[in-house]
Amino acid sequence: MTIGTDALQGDEFAEEILTPWQRIGRSLLQDRFAMWGAVVLVFFFALAIVGWWGTSGDDPYFSPSTIRLPDRLKPPMAKPNLEDVAPGKLPPLGIYPFGTDELGRDVFARMLEGSKFAMAVGFVAVGISMILGVFLGGIAGFHGNKHIGPASLLGAILFPVAGGFLFSEISWWILFPLEGALLFIGVVLGMWVESLPAFGFLKQHPIVNVDTIFIVLVDVQLSFPTFFLILTAIAVLPPSIWNIMVVIGITGWVGPARFVRAEILSLRERPFIEAARAIGAKDMRLIIIHLVPNSLAAVLVSVTIGVPLAILSEAGLSFLGFGVPPPDASWGNILSDGRKFLFDAPWLMFIPGFAILIVVLAFNLFGEGLRDALNPRTRPE
């Protein structure tokens, strides 16, 4: 009886000394669907690395743009026509694993190139949206109750508008951060004006609080269909993969911002925040040291949701001809090129279509497992 009790106490003690990250890892390992999703994602990450190495440069190992008209519309696993194709244009593997398209280009090489663009767009765009979302959601969650006076609100409106007129000739990717800086300068100058004794009455008559401005921005963003907003922005910008990444990132900040705001609204009333305030911790320390790290769970879940959405957005844009500019290949434009040969060469649509399906499904399965692992109420003990 004593041995059994000691063993039970030993098990309980071993359970208690597990760190939070160890508990999360154990929960993920127990979720088979999440592990299958993680394995698939690692496989596609490896393909993206191979694609980045093998399809870049002036003389790539896997050439996605080499035209071989004698080998047009070859089925998967077909061998090249050695008599009609020049030796320098033969596929490096000796066969066409995924067949060829209407110009004789190797679909396997084009899928490798498309994988690097898909992963790059997904993570760069989501990184941009995460930065914007954490920044705006953190301000709304922590400073939501603070009111803005007339001078601050007027500066926040006038400075970006004036900057847009004065610097309209500047490239948009320079103008956008400049507009953000002008908005910040306008708010700071407005607060300085309100702090002057002659204009102190402005501070005593606040117009709106920060959280209301955040909610209005979210409502305005959600009132536009996201994909059509991205499509409109891409249509007026020069064709570039970087423009696609930035536009998708800028239009995807709402979800992460709402997650972070909700987490910080809950965390700022917790006892450890009150204890930090009691020992004299400043607002910046509370945000950086306590609130943001404790809200990373919501951010990680947002990443697993945002990356497949960004990949789908890029594939949709490329399918419509507004995405990755030719001759570069992406899964979307491979799918678009293959729709004309649905019955003659169905692999041109099935291969990129299944790749998009599998990647999005893998992200969703891993995201579901990560969300359950980060939630202590659903995590197995």
pLDDT 10s digits, 128-177: 888 888 878 887 887 777 777 777 777 777 766 676 666 555 555 555 55
For the chain, how big is the Rg over CA atoms in Å? 27
281 Cβ contact partners less than 8 Å away, ≥ 6 residues apart: 289, 290
Which residue has better confidence, 212 or 125? 125
CA-closest candidate to residue 133, choices 357, 289, 298, 1 = 298
φ and ψ at 254, to 5 degrees?
A: -65, -50
φ and ψ at 71, to 5 degrees?
A: -110, 25
Q: For the chain, how far is it from start to end, CA to CA, in angstroms?
A: 25
DSSP 270: S
Distance CA 105, CA 58 (A): 17
pLDDT of residue 111: 92
pTM of the model: 0.79
Q: Does 333 score more than 80 pLDDT?
A: yes
For 252-308, the pLDDT digits (tens) are 888 888 888 888 888 877 888 888 888 887 777 777 777 777 777 777 878 888 888
Quick one: pLDDT band at residue 87, thresholds 50, 70, 90?
A: confident
Sorted by where each begins, the domain ranges of the chain are: 38-62+107-145+209-374, 150-205
Decide: 298 and 263 in contact? Cβ < 8 Å. Answer: yes
Distance CA 24, CA 28 (A): 6
Decide: 374 and 294 in contact? Cβ < 8 Å. Answer: no
Quick one: pLDDT band at residue 354, thresholds 50, 70, 90?
A: very high
Residues 38-62+107-145+209-374: name the CATH superfamily: MetI-like (1.10.3720.10)
**What is the rounded average pLDDT of the residues 104-122?**
90
Count of residues making up the chain: 381
User: Which range, 62-71, 216-225, 293-302, has the best average confidence (pLDDT)?
Assistant: 62-71
pLDDT of residue 1: 45
